[in-house]
Structure 1
Amino acid sequence: MSEVPATTPVSSPGLTRGSTPSGDDDDVVDGRVKPGHDLGKAWRIARRSFVVVATVFVLSGAAIAAWVYSLGPLPLEQAKQVSTTVVDRNGKLLRAYAMADGRWRLPVVAQTSVDPGYLNLLLAYEDKRFRAHAGVDPLALGRAAFQLFTRGRIVSGGSTITMQLARLLEPRQQRSVGAKIRQAVRALQLERRLSKDEILDLYLELAPFGGNLEGIRAASLAYFGKEPKRLTLAESALLVALPQSPETRRLDRHPGTARLARDRVLDRMVHEGKVSLDDAAQAKAVPVPRLRKPMPILAPHSADQATSLVKDTPQIRLTLDAGIQKTLESLARDRAAALGPNLSIGIIAVDNESGDVLAHVGSPDYFDDRRAGQVDMTRAVRSPGSTLKPFIYGLAFEDGFVHPDSLIDDRPIRYGSYAPENFDMTFQGTVPVRKALQLSLNVPAIALLDRVGASRLSSRLKQAGARLVLPKDEAPGLAMGLGGVGVTLQDLAQLYAGMARQGSARPLREIMQANGGDDRETLRLMDPVAAWQVGTVLLGTPPPDNAAHNRIAFKTGTSYGYRDAWSVGFDGRMTIGVWVGRPDGAPVPGLVGRTAAAPILFDAFARTGKLPAPLPRAPKGILVSSNAKLPLPLRRFRPLGELIQTGTEQALHIQFPLNGSRIDAAGIAEGTFSALPVKVAGGVLPLTMLVNGVAVGEIDGRRQRLVDPPGPGFVRLTVQDAAGAADTVVVRIQ
């Protein structure tokens, strides 16, 4: 056995001769590890671990960021798609249209259009800390997880309102942890993008309520028939419960399940002290609706017209007043049922001052095929009967050859082959012009129209915005005074509203501009004095039975063959027009404006809920006098050719130009007009010349004068002598 030298080092396990422990050489001395070696090694391990963890963290963050980026932007544009709604001048819903895919989704503003009690109940049940959290509520998630762990089933959800909105924006196919994480991320994005009120509004628009109903407004209208501004506790609890499982709780299929869900909401609110026990018991006793109600459909013809004209607008505001519209629709429905089958009714109400349409009833029932309910009879071209007579009288007053207290003959007369007759086939003899209009006598109206000129009447009505339809290739004639022309109820209402405005018409308006502007121009109908005189005469027209006198200035009309019955009237505030007849134009024996349309007109004024307003005050220049005190030319109307005799003098007569003639007076220099020669015969000197009612000087001893016409168009030339006799002609300068 050999001895080992003392100087020979003992090999450590794992070491060989000439090797050292891992690490720096300085850590080993004579084959032994220095005391600080353990601490340095631990530090190196920690440093390496930190690098690994940091790398994993960075890579995970990058992966999460890439995943979030892959989600894309929030799908808010699709959520902004809502049903087109048509509202009245005050924002009340008239009609809504389903979206292209058949869903009902109506815009909501929670702060103004939803019952506060419902909002409080919704937040208390679904998201107590909605106003405090940033989209995700850790307390709610923790509570839901604890309940799931301790009870083995889902007791309450942890989703916030914002997370539920995220799910509605991006519907999921199944419930999973990944889907919940996605909702949480989207909820955080929503909270950064939108305010709390905007999130709540969007949720209330998108929340499902069964079938094709989305949003609180659609559900409230379909189930309760009302806007969600005023909801009972029972209704609020039901609407809170439905979105949790909209298809299994559909009221029209599973009313029992819906009722149980509603009662659970109430029980929980009682447990949390939000609702008293008595209130909850009363709410539970209320039955749930089992059938859906139809969506509002007021003013369907106006709504259809508006949606055809205004595109890509979620809300269209009309000038209509929902209260008046609903009242007049009910009136038309009741009266149509009383008048008999197949008869339709059109009613239009217009604000005199603005020309805005306040009510538009195109038919008694939009869905009644027997009455052609979808045909808008306010826009149908029909024969107006006698409803144009007031404008004949107005132009006669304007021309100055007749006064309301002038006398006029109602006797048989012939104009070539045309012999007008009165409706009752009788004649009244000599009557005041006022009475002739109030009794709607035909012969005096045609006599005045012959003096005014049918072409001039047609031109003036068209100038005021009315679209007159004549038979093909036919010029305006005397027959248009008794209905021989086509016109719509809307145009008649515009003309009568212009008369109520003292001769200044405005085009009717139903669709309000988005910016609230109004670019309509005022149109001339007749002089203010003439318009006031016509309105005063019509105010005295005998009203229908049991109606008040001197409240409404109105006129009736009946077309040839009893096809159309009309009545149009106005007070100081409003003009209303009524048409009654068959949409197919078939005759209806006994259909007369006075008995069929006038009672509806007076009832319409009464149902607006306002007393008739007085007509405007008389403008300056009104001549108020009895017949005996009128100037001689105004005491009695005389047709053309019948001259006034003044003692032994020759009757005053304008020899040139002839009445109704067309004169080409265009000058050469700068578009001026040549002087128009006027030649007069008879009369007592001095003779005064008037152009359009304005005196321009005297006629010389030769009874001739050159007159400067005011411009192209109709010109009224009048000559008056010293004895008060006068003669007038109307010519057209072109």
Structure 2
Amino acid sequence: MRPDRWLILGVALLWSVALARDGIDRWAAATELPVLVHATAPEVRDRNGTLLRAYTVDDGIWRLAVSVDRVDAGYIRMLTAFEDKRFYRHSGVDPLAMARAVGQAVWHGRVVSGGSTLTMQVARLLEDSGTGRWPGKLRQIRVALALERRLDKDAILSLYLHLAPFGGNIEGVRAASLAWFGKEPRRLTPGEAALLVALPQSPETRRPDRHPQAARAARARVLSRMAEAGVLPAGDATAALRDPIPSLRHAVPQLAPHMADRAVARGPGRHDLTLDADLQARLETLAQKHMTGRDPRLSLALMVADHTTGEILASVGSAGYENGAAQGFVDMTRALRSPGSTLKPLVYGLAFDRGLAHPETLILDAPVQFGGYAPQNFDGSYRGELRVAQALQLSLNIPVVRLTDRMGPAHLMTALRKSGADPKLPAGQPGLAMALGGVGMTLEDLVQLYAALAHDGMARPLIWDRAAGPGPEQRLLSPQAAWQVGHILAGIAPPPAAGPPGRVAYKTGTSYGHRDAWAIGYDGRYVAGVWIGRPDGTPVPGAFGADQAAPLLFQVLQHSRTVAEPLPATPPETLLVGNARLPLPLQRFDRREPGERLSLTFPPEGARLALSDAGVPLKLRGGTPPFTLMADGAVLATGLRRSELNAAITSPGFTALSVIDAAGQADSVRIELR
């Protein structure tokens, strides 16, 4: 008698003689089960649950987490009908199937059909045991019986869905569906389902990319059986035969590699991000196209966030993760770089809030020296006296340094930290050069800062992990100052073919030595940032933010929306007048200072005062009268000459009080009225 007959007859004999009912229970109960929990690939999903990126498990296998309810029901019906039609009725071993297999083997002199149940196949997969020797078959029977007593049917089926081989390094139905069809297994065509049923029986000889004829024949056998069994209408089975067999493996989604690495570094398992997979894919393609034909050492980074929610919607850390020449593995959204002129809007916003300037204030652009520091404009020329709004739109260096000097660079550093950024100084204390980019910032920092400008001056941390939830808000600028800055930036002419001005508030920047080209901007909903440069920090001759980064910024925003959201409306308290109608101290910014500096001695910063019909009392020291009193950027009174004043504020809440003297000095405090 042939060895395979002895094998089958031996197993049948052991089964009939050794396993009485009580004996089966004792035998199964004493079984030591193999490990039932197998590693699945860490995976990162977008805001809608779409797979962004997955990783192999430690042994290089593609095995992804899956559950029975996330697999096409038609596939489950085909699988059980083809492999184990009494799966939901037997207790691990199907005596009828075993008897049929033995009878057919004896009659034909060879194995015609197997008697293994799905549970027995799971037992074999768990222990990676063969099927041809009777000790292995006996062990599978024992483990199958034990599995049925400790797990329910769905749990056993889930093990099969995770461990079944589908060719190469693919294990499990989800990895197989993504690899062979490029989609999740939730919805499969009859032809796709039939191929996935057939593959595990002989995963290497039926691999569709290598053996398409064998794969087609195996699929046809499954479809024929399903039609005979009534699982699939005959017409559907016939139509499925005409479906093409996949000729190539699809790559498992690999979107947002840098952000995915960042998420997985927190731990294994599934990570749900705030990113949008479609937008992420569009921007990654945009980045690759933009870099085509350019210096191979050049890299770029893009980021888009919804400033109304604080959620990051797309993050591109480089134009190519695998690009070694450009160090594409480095996430340039988080790399410290010089921000160039992109901090200037914050300086102006702080100056507006402190009563140092107004967009219509005249400021001098002329040679100046602060101790040993003599800033120069980028083009080396001077414009004389001009409006503050013009100075910001022209990105002049000297006016912004004048304002930073009056305000104090430490206040700029405090504001940056309040925005949620983590600025790094090269060395020493904050200096005036900060206003021109003399501080380390990341693209993510700058997008977060501009999100605050766009969001009525309210700063909050940007979030990318959906589990984190929104961060706490705190006021960076008053709504009036934030609007004034945005209104000025929206007046900058867009790049050619980018549409009319006024729709996007944006600022460009170029760091010292042309090492970094920046463009950051926002509309009524989205804020975006672009960085271009070399990751190693070497200069890029001819790189300018306005020429290189700005056109890409507008493309990024166009990819992010179907219709441009309008910028915020003017806050009602905003002072909208020409220079001649400004309070005298605000008409012209002047660095001349009196003998004793102006200071607001009462109320102190952060004071909480009881609300009173009489208003808020203020006490001043120093300065040159007359004084101008402002609340939240709005003028309350002018021509005041006493050192004790009264602010007519009768509404509860937080208020920023500012006093400006005749020489242009100012001091301010923030209080709460309750």
TM above 0.5:
yes
* Contact residue 509 and residue 518 of structure 2 kept, 8 A: yes
Aligned 1:334-733 pairs, distance under 5 A: 334-473=289-428, 475-513=429-467, 518=469, 520-549=471-500, 550-634=502-586, 636-641=587-592, 655-657=595-597, 678-683=621-626, 704=643, 718-719=659-660, 725=662, 727-730=664-667
* Contact residue 592 and residue 663 of structure 2 kept, 8 A: no
* Contact residue 354 and residue 506 of structure 1 kept, 8 A: no
1:567 deviates by 0.5
1:251 deviates by 4.0
Query: Who is 2:65 aligned against?
Result: 107
Against the structure 1 CA distance between its residues 613 and 195, is the aligned structure 2 distance closer, same or farther, given a 3 Å change threshold? farther
1:240 deviates by 1.2
Unaligned 5+ runs, structure 1:
1-56, 643-652, 666-674, 708-714
Query: Who is 2:159 aligned against?
Result: 202
1:301 deviates by 0.8
Q: Secondary structure at the match of 1:575?
A: strand
Against the structure 1 CA distance between its residues 505 and 557, is the aligned structure 2 distance closer, same or farther, given a 3 Å change threshold? same
1:102 deviates by 1.9
- Structure-1 separation of matches of 2:61 and 2:278: 28
Aligned-residue Cα RMSD (Å) equals: 3.7
Query: Who is 2:31 aligned against?
Result: 71
1:219 deviates by 1.5
Against the structure 1 CA distance between its residues 447 and 134, is the aligned structure 2 distance closer, same or farther, given a 3 Å change threshold? same
Q: Map Cα deviations across residues 10-64 of structure 1 (whole Å, 9 max, x no partner).
A: xxxxxxxxxxxxxxxxxxxxxxxxxxxxxxxxxxxxxxxxxxxxxxx99977765
- Structure-2 separation of matches of 1:398 and 1:690: 9
1:239 deviates by 1.4
Q: Secondary structure at the match of 1:388?
A: helix
Q: Secondary structure at the match of 1:86?
A: strand
Q: Secondary structure at the match of 1:269?
A: helix
Query: Which residue identity does 1:525 align to in structure 2?
Result: L
Q: Map Cα deviations across residues 539-570 of structure 1 (whole Å, 9 max, x no partner).
A: 22211110122221111111112111101111
Between the two structures, name the one with larger relative contact order (CA 8 Å, sep ≥ 6).
2
Query: Which residue identity does 2:69 align to in structure 1?
Result: Q
- Structure-2 separation of matches of 1:269 and 1:251: 21
* Contact residue 658 and residue 731 of structure 1 kept, 8 A: no
- Structure-2 separation of matches of 1:185 and 1:637: 92
Against the structure 1 CA distance between its residues 340 and 659, is the aligned structure 2 distance closer, same or farther, given a 3 Å change threshold? farther
Q: Secondary structure at the match of 2:451?
A: helix
Q: Secondary structure at the match of 1:591?
A: coil
Larger radius of gyration: 1
Instruction: Say which is worse superposed, 326-335 or 232-241, in terms of deviation.
Output: 232-241
Against the structure 1 CA distance between its residues 681 and 394, is the aligned structure 2 distance closer, same or farther, given a 3 Å change threshold? closer
Query: Which residue identity does 1:108 align to in structure 2?
Result: V
Query: Who is 2:107 aligned against?
Result: 150
Query: Who is 1:12 aligned against?
Result: none
Query: Which residue identity does 1:579 align to in structure 2?
Result: W
Query: Which residue identity does 1:522 align to in structure 2?
Result: E
- Structure-1 separation of matches of 2:597 and 2:485: 29
* Contact residue 656 and residue 677 of structure 1 kept, 8 A: no
Aligned 1:288-307 pairs, distance under 5 A: 288-307=245-264
The answer to whether the aligner puts 1:94 opposite 2:52 as a matched pair is: yes
- Work out the percentage of aligned pairs sharing the same amino acid: 49
Q: Map Cα deviations across residues 658-706 of structure 1 (whole Å, 9 max, x no partner).
A: 6899xx99xxxxxxxxx986134454xxx676798799999998x6569
- Structure-2 separation of matches of 1:120 and 1:364: 44
Against the structure 1 CA distance between its residues 356 and 180, is the aligned structure 2 distance closer, same or farther, given a 3 Å change threshold? same
1:101 deviates by 1.9
- Structure-2 separation of matches of 1:700 and 1:542: 41
Aligned 1:138-287 pairs, distance under 5 A: 138-176=95-133, 179-251=136-208, 253-275=210-232, 280=237, 283-287=240-244
Q: Secondary structure at the match of 2:347?
A: helix
* Contact residue 180 and residue 250 of structure 2 kept, 8 A: yes
Query: Which residue identity does 1:335 align to in structure 2?
Result: H
* Contact residue 562 and residue 592 of structure 1 kept, 8 A: yes
* Contact residue 457 and residue 482 of structure 2 kept, 8 A: yes
- Structure-1 separation of matches of 2:407 and 2:581: 24
Unaligned 5+ runs, structure 2:
1-16, 606-617, 647-655
Q: Map Cα deviations across residues 326-361 of structure 1 (whole Å, 9 max, x no partner).
A: 111111111111443211010111221332221111
TM-score where L is the length of structure 2: 0.85
- Structure-2 separation of matches of 1:420 and 1:696: 36
1:452 deviates by 2.2
Instruction: Say which is worse superposed, 289-298 or 131-140, in terms of deviation.
Output: 131-140
Query: Which residue identity does 1:259 align to in structure 2?
Result: R
- Structure-2 separation of matches of 1:210 and 1:272: 27
Q: Secondary structure at the match of 1:382?
A: coil
Query: Who is 2:652 aligned against?
Result: none
Q: Secondary structure at the match of 2:571?
A: coil
- Structure-2 separation of matches of 1:699 and 1:538: 32
1:252 deviates by 5.0
* Contact residue 318 and residue 329 of structure 2 kept, 8 A: yes
1:202 deviates by 2.5
Instruction: Say which is worse superposed, 86-95 or 267-276, in terms of deviation.
Output: 267-276
Against the structure 1 CA distance between its residues 107 and 680, is the aligned structure 2 distance closer, same or farther, given a 3 Å change threshold? closer
Q: Map Cα deviations across residues 261-292 of structure 1 (whole Å, 9 max, x no partner).
A: 22322333344454566655554455534543
Against the structure 1 CA distance between its residues 658 and 609, is the aligned structure 2 distance closer, same or farther, given a 3 Å change threshold? closer
1:579 deviates by 0.2
Query: Which residue identity does 2:496 align to in structure 1?
Result: D
1:602 deviates by 0.8
1:372 deviates by 0.5
- Structure-2 separation of matches of 1:279 and 1:232: 10
Query: Which residue identity does 1:488 align to in structure 2?
Result: T
TM-score where L is the length of structure 1: 0.78
* Contact residue 354 and residue 666 of structure 2 kept, 8 A: no
1:576 deviates by 0.8
Against the structure 1 CA distance between its residues 625 and 258, is the aligned structure 2 distance closer, same or farther, given a 3 Å change threshold? same
- Structure-1 separation of matches of 2:18 and 2:373: 101
* Contact residue 437 and residue 537 of structure 1 kept, 8 A: yes
Against the structure 1 CA distance between its residues 66 and 415, is the aligned structure 2 distance closer, same or farther, given a 3 Å change threshold? same
Q: Map Cα deviations across residues 408-466 of structure 1 (whole Å, 9 max, x no partner).
A: 33344343444433333333444332232222222322222222222211121122222
Q: Map Cα deviations across residues 111-167 of structure 1 (whole Å, 9 max, x no partner).
A: 23x333333332332233434444444443344344334333333333332332232
- Structure-2 separation of matches of 1:596 and 1:523: 34
* Contact residue 87 and residue 95 of structure 1 kept, 8 A: yes
Against the structure 1 CA distance between its residues 338 and 543, is the aligned structure 2 distance closer, same or farther, given a 3 Å change threshold? farther
- Structure-1 separation of matches of 2:579 and 2:104: 98
Instruction: Say which is worse superposed, 284-293 or 236-245, in terms of deviation.
Output: 284-293
Query: Which residue identity does 1:127 align to in structure 2?
Result: D
Aligned pair count? 636
* Contact residue 447 and residue 639 of structure 1 kept, 8 A: no
